[in-house]
Copies of this chain bind each other. A is one copy, B any other.
Amino acid sequence: MLGERIAEKMPALSPGQQSIAKYILGNPRDAAFLTAFQLGEIVGVSESTVIRFAAVLGYSGYPEMRSAVREILMERLSTLERLREYDESDGAHYFFRAIDKDIKTLSAAQASLNTRALEELGSMIAVADQVLVAGQRSSRALAYYLWYYLSWLFPNIHLLDPDSAIEKVINASPKSLVIGISFPRYTSWTVEVMRHSHMCGIPTASITNDYSSPLATWSNIVIPVPWNPISFIDSFTAPISIMNCVILGAARVLGSAVQQRLEILERTWGENDVYVNRLPKLETAGMKDPGKSQGHFK
């Protein structure tokens, strides 16, 4: 398939060819109809380069490559057409149904969104001396996510872990904020942290499935998130989306300061090579795969 071919050759491609590759992957709908010349014009490259690109990918010529693009496009179209009908029928693949369930949950989450509560949580985060985020087991992924992004914006965000949680809570000032995250079946540890914090007079917020959650009992503010498990997994698709809202809500309070903060982060990352800034080069990439026997994975 085209995508795989490109992935394979990507590092071996010249700059101009890489931009062609990106365009095709990003706009197959347009690329499927363009002539070599037009495509070249769009990505700012000569017709020749486009044609050579097709050759490098192993196609006999540009038209053949374009056919490949068309194929994936048509593939997609037929998938979508199938999708439209499957709604209630069980014919659909279970992956589709899993995602479908997530989409429905997410819609429900949007519908029942309590914007006031979210905004309030945002300002609580922004004004707190420090924020402690508590979440264990599956919810730890959510807690981590929230902690990670809030750390970009605020200096005193901590992700609680079982070893040091109690100490951190005890030492927390009354102007701190504890955010607990848990869903059925609620983790005892998280409930304990919340209870303890509340007893100590520290403001608490919880992100949980609804007001009847044991977390809610010990919370000053509750963000309920519709939540639907898929098979044995507590699908956290909707909660993640709500986390985004929480982060946005907090960022909004900061106003233009966010921009500056992000710029500083950006600069620091650049200096420390945190992110990749160019693709690996050919001589390493092009070498034959160590196990030709694994070729069938591609």
A positions within 8 Å CB-CB of B: 3-4, 6-8, 10-11, 18, 21-22, 25, 29, 33, 67, 70, 73-74, 76-81, 83-84, 90, 93-103, 106-107, 109-113, 115, 118, 120, 124, 137-138, 140-142, 144-145, 148-149, 152, 174, 184-188, 191, 195, 198-201, 203, 210-214, 216-217, 219-222, 224, 229-237, 240-242, 244-245, 247-249, 251-252, 258, 262, 273-277, 279-287, 289-291, 293-294, 296-298
Residues on B with C-beta less than 8 A from A203 are: 291, 294, 297
Given contacts A29-B77, A33-B70, A279-B217, contact A285 B236 (CB under 8 A): no
Instruction: State the oligomeric state as a number of copies.
Output: 2
Q: Bound state CA distance, A135 and B255, in angstroms?
A: 30
Identify which of B80, B249, B262 contacts A111 (C-beta below 8 A): B80
By DSSP majority rule, is chain A's interface helix, strand, loop, or mixed?
helix
Q: Bound state CA distance, A149 and B214, in angstroms?
A: 24
Identify which of B120, B142, B149, B188 contacts A233 (C-beta below 8 A): B149
Indicate if the CB atoms of B109 and A99 lie closer than 8 Å: yes
Q: Bound state CA distance, A282 and B249, in angstroms?
A: 32
Q: Bound state CA distance, A112 and B76, in angstroms?
A: 6
Identify which of B219, B262, B294 contacts A220 (C-beta below 8 A): B294
* A33-B67, A95-B245, A137-B274 given; 18 more Cβ-contact pairs under 8 Å: A8-B217, A10-B216, A79-B111, A80-B84, A80-B111, A99-B113, A99-B242, A102-B241, A103-B103, A124-B297, A184-B282, A185-B282, A186-B275, A195-B280, A217-B279, A217-B285, A220-B294, A233-B248
Identify which of B25, B81, B90, B103 contacts A106 (C-beta below 8 A): B103
Indicate if the CB atoms of A233 and B244 lie closer than 8 Å: yes
